[in-house]
Amino acid sequence: MSMEAVQAVKMFKALDDVTRVKIVEFLVGGEQCACMLLAFLDIAQPTLSHHMKILCESGLVNGRKVGKWMYYSLSKEGFDSVIGYLNEIKTSINDCKADSCCC
């Protein structure tokens, strides 16, 4: 399996949770403090930390610490990576159909 595929698996697993998808949708509006995410989601801080760890490790979200608070934002590079991976698959499918192979 290619490194791109391994990274895509991490990203897809990170998005395989309703709470994490809500976090991503909330972050579309721009960088947010963890306190805003806690209020928006109405969850406990340890639960938020768990979800943010998964999103950050997947490469979809960036985190930065300012004082005692964490600020989170979407990673353009992370989303570009998974979109690029999916586009490669789409191109392969289109090429396969154009060549009239077994697809």
Spatial neighbors of 76 by CB under 8 A, at least 6 apart, are none
pTM summary value: 0.84
- Closest to 42 in 3D by CA, of 28, 27, 22: 22
- Closest to 74 in 3D by CA, of 32, 45, 37: 32
Cα–Cα separations (whole angstroms), residue 13 to 6, 18, 32, 36:
11, 11, 22, 24
Domains of the chain by start residue, with CATH: 3-92 (1.10.10.10)
Q: CB atoms < 10 A from the CB of 24, how many?
A: 16
pLDDT at position 7: 85
Tens-digit pLDDT profile for residues 26-77: 999 999 999 999 999 999 999 999 999 999 999 999 999 999 999 999 999 9
Angle at CA 17, nearest 5°, toward 60 and 53?
A: 45
